[in-house]
Structure 1
Amino acid sequence: MSAFLQPLVEHPLFHLALTLLAFQAALHLSRVSGIVVLQPVLVSAAVVIAVLTLAGISYHEYLKGVSILNLLLGPATVALAVPLYQNLSRIRRLLWPIVITVLSGGIVATATTLVLGWLMGIDRQLLMTLAPKSVTSPIAMLVAGQAGGIAALAAVFVLLTGILGAMFGPSMLRLSRVTHPAAVGMALGLTAHAVGTARALEEGQEHGAYAALAMSLMGVGTAIFLPLVLAAL
């Protein structure tokens, strides 16, 4: 690394600035280009990884530099309750369809993963790692670890699931002529968790409210019931 860049890289705010700038640039690129594969989370992650590799910065150094972002994850998650509250009356009217959708969607998402993995000859440990891929990382890592899977790898599968869901989910829903805000939001929240919820919020506040609700219910259901199911397999 050149002596000119060394002070910049060693600045205490370098990691935080890099992350924020990379994401904002990726978000702008995605909106301007309209190209599906240029998903902001994917592009910004690739940029950050490339810069850290070129600068010789370890993951632990980077994690320490962006600790404030990890601290803000909790409040950001709680803030998803705002669109839920704003659309509470609509959600009440659709209570039973929502419950049925979460139950059926959760069962299908998990069952298809297990069945397809089994048909492809994937070993049990990897299957247990893949099973909770449609929920947020903390829940997925906990469930995978309890079931005999690999917790760290479960987080990777969760990230890939979210990115792919946010990239192709809206297009697939439009092709299937699914346009109702509740249906679109629930689908993205159920299958692509937090990344899908962020994508649903781009479609509208109502979409985001249903996505946040679906993500929350899917997480709770997975944490409670999936370990019992996996233990019986």
Structure 2
Amino acid sequence: MPTTMFIFLTIFLTVLLYLISRKIFLRTKNPIFNPVLLSTTIIIIIFHYTGITFEQYKPGKDIMTFLLGPATVALALPLYLNRTVLLQALFPIIFGICFGALATLTTAILLAKLSGLDALIVTSIAPKSITAPIAIEISRLTGGDPAIAVAFVVFTGTFGSIIGPSLLSFCKITTPIARGLAMGVTSHGQGTATILQEGALQGAMAGIAMAVAAIFISFIAPLYIPWLVNL
């Protein structure tokens, strides 16, 4: 069992590497230096050469994971500050979020099926664009594997946060509301954190998109995912 000091050091190391990675990203503006990807890669390299195991890192990781809850709630602040914009376009925003969430879910399943993947893998991939805690429960309800589901959630969030802003710019999508909604629906928490660096409005829209998409998919997933997988 790791000591309290060791747990503190792993948390400190993780936070420090993330802050350094974030500074590098803000200075270079290069998607390759995405803070989550860069800091995670450095941590893996350090642990590999120092012999630190995941079991030793897990207690610190659990504490940081627990703090994701308050961090997510903190997204309510930019949302509150931009509530007027939200209320002015409430119906189009909610409709866009639900349609986007349904599109990402359907596309993931169909592409996985066309690739000839096993039904278990297809079912586990389905909730890839939903925040991890909800994706785990959805995978359990629909017959998927929670571990596989989490892996795809993390990959989707990381990949989306790397290419998302550049892809939106390439597609000439410059409206802050649209950029925020797109990142929140497709890349959940990591995408929200990335787009928040562009502005409070983008972050607020991404936050509401992440929450509404998760609620919407939670309602339809138990019936929709098995039906589409077995179609």
- Indicate the TM-score class for this superposition, using the shorter chain for normalisation: over 0.9
- Tell me if 1:157 matches 2:134: no
Tell me if 1:74 matches 2:57: no
Give the letter for the 1:73 counterpart: L
Q: Secondary structure at the match of 1:13?
A: helix
What CA distance in whole angstroms lies between the structure 1 residues aligned with 2:69 and 2:105?
26
Q: Which residue of 2 aligns with 1:192?
A: 187
Partner of 1:5: none
Instruction: Verify: 1:64 aligned to 2:29, yes or no.
Output: no
Farther-moved stretch of structure 1 (195-204 vs 13-22): 13-22
> Is 17-26 or 203-212 further displaced after alignment?
17-26
- Deviation of 1:133 after TM superposition, in Å, equals 0.2
**2:24 match:** 29
Q: Which runs of 5+ in 1 are unaligned?
A: 1-9
Where 1:203 maps in the other structure, the secondary structure is coil
Q: How does 1:56-205 map onto structure 2 within 5 Å?
A: 56-205=51-200
Query: How many angstroms does 1:33 deviate by?
Result: 2.1
Structure with greater Cα Rg: 1
**Contact kept? 2:138, 2:221, Cα under 8 Å:** yes
Residue of structure 1 equivalent to 2:205: 210
Q: Deviations over 1:15-43 (max 9, x none)?
A: 01210111111111112222211111011
Determine the C-alpha separation between the residues in 2 that align with 1:88 and 1:70: 28
The whole-number CA distance in structure 2 between the counterparts of 1:140 and 1:157 is 10
TM-score when scaled to structure 2? 0.93
Contact 2:31–2:163 (CA under 8 A) maintained in structure 1? yes
1:44 aligns with 2:3: no
Shift of 1:71: 2.9
User: Structure 1 CA distance, aligned partners of 2:205 and 2:70?
Assistant: 19
Percent identity at matched positions? Answer: 35
Work out which structure has the larger RCO, using CA pairs closer than 8 Å and 6 or more positions apart in sequence: 2
Consecutive aligned runs of 4 or more in structure 1 exceeding 6 Å deviation: none
For structure 2, the residue ranges without an aligned partner over 5 or more in a row are none
Equivalent-residue separation in structure 2 for 1:190 and 1:209 (angstroms): 12
